[in-house]
């Protein structure tokens, strides 16, 4: 019994973070619904972030962002935001982990499609040439199947039967006895 417990504990210690890294990312909620645009910069005065932020605030560009279902994630100086609203520290770290970028001090711009695949990625000096027009052109060049990708539908939830109080012939049921646990031999 002790050997099984140690084996299971070791397996969970190694495999647990791998499973958690995929499911706790804020990007997981956007699959099928929106196109995340992630901007990672070492500071709030980084030229890549300043130029993109200026173009994001332009009213003409806001309409294009809404039409293309773009959500803007920014990680500036290790503080994350989603469309200008602060993310928690855990969500920010989960976002960075899900991108599997590694460490670096260079600015990065990443566009993820509705299918969850990276459509545009630039780093360092290359990021300075990325503007909103290039992002819009990348989205517009996507195949029609990706453009019209619908969000996954959740499985139907079984409705509980409605009970009425005081109905004739109905008695509250007795709770079921818990099953006896199966005894396993010791090793």
What is the C-alpha to C-alpha distance for residues 80 and 73, in angstroms, rounded to an integer?
7
3-state DSSP assignment of residue 28:
helix
Dump pLDDT digits (tens) for 48-76: 888 888 888 888 888 888 888 888 888 88
More confident residue, 143 or 150: 143
CA pseudo-torsion sign 165, 170, 172, 176: negative
Give the whole-angstrom CA distance, residue 172 versus residue 162: 14
- Looking at the DSSP bridge assignments, the partners of residue 85 are 82
- Residues with Cβ within 8 Å of 89's Cβ and at least 6 positions away in sequence, in order, are none
pLDDT in tens, 144-170: 655 555 444 444 555 555 555 555 555
* 174 beta partners: none
Q: Please say if the pLDDT value at position 184 is more than 80.
A: no
Walk me through the domains of the chain, giving residue ranges and CATH numbers: 7-147 (3.40.30.10)
- The stretches of 24-123 forming alpha helices (DSSP H) are 47-56, 59-67, 89-99
Q: HSE, CB side, 13 Å, CA atoms: give it for residue 174.
A: 3
pLDDT at 21: 44
């Amino acid at each position: 019994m002790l050997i099984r417990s140690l084996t299971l504990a070791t397996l969970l210690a190694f495999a647990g973070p791998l499973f958690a890294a995929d499911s706790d990312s804020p990007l997981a909620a956007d699959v099928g619904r929106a196109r995340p645009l992630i901007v990672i910069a070492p500071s709030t005065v980084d030229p890549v972030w300043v130029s993109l932020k200026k173009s994001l605030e332009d009213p003409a560009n806001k309409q294009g962002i809404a039409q293309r279902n773009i959500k803007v994630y920014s990680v500036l100086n290790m503080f994350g935001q989603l469309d200008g609203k602060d993310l928690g520290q855990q969500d920010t770290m989960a976002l960075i982990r899900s991108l599997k970028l590694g460490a670096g001090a260079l600015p990065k711009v990443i566009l993820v499609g509705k299918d969850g695949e990276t459509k545009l990625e630039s780093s360092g000096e290359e990021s300075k040439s990325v503007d909103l027009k290039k992002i819009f052109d990348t989205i517009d060049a996507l195949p029609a199947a990706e453009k019209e990708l619908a969000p996954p539908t959740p499985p139907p939830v079984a409705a509980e039967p409605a009970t009425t109080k005081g109905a004739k012939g109905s008695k509250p049921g007795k709770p079921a006895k818990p099953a006896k646990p199966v005894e396993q031999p010791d090793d």
